[in-house]
Amino acid sequence: MQIDLNGTPVVTRATTLAALITEQGFDAASVATALDGQFVPRQARAATSLHPGARIEVLAPMQGG
């Protein structure tokens, strides 16, 4: 299915947010996630289904000042 990941169109086989994070190589413990503009807590990712056209944001902390 095609989704939007951090503003970029992506084709994925993942059906849940947790599966997408793994598929894309993100460190699940250190990122924040949102689906269609709504924050998704880490413990809810496995139960959060994706849909065609979903807008996913995966945010990771950055060092610097």
Report how far residue 5's alpha carbon sits from residue 54's, in angstroms, rounded to the nearest whole number: 8
Range 2-59: architecture per CATH: Roll (3.10)
Q: Where are the domains of the chain?
A: 2-59
> In which region does residue 46 sit, left (phi positive, over 0), alpha (psi from -120 to 50) or beta (all else)?
alpha
In tens, the pLDDT along 36-45 reads 999 999 999 9
State pTM to two decimals.
0.92
Backbone angles phi, psi at 4, to 5 degrees: -115, 115
Largest CA distance in the chain: 38
pLDDT of residue 20: 98
Q: Using one digit for the tens of pLDDT, what is the confidence trace for 18-58?
A: 999 999 999 999 999 999 999 999 999 999 999 999 999 99
8 A C-beta contact, residue 17 and residue 45: yes
Among residues 19, 21, 48, which one has the least CA distance to residue 35?
48
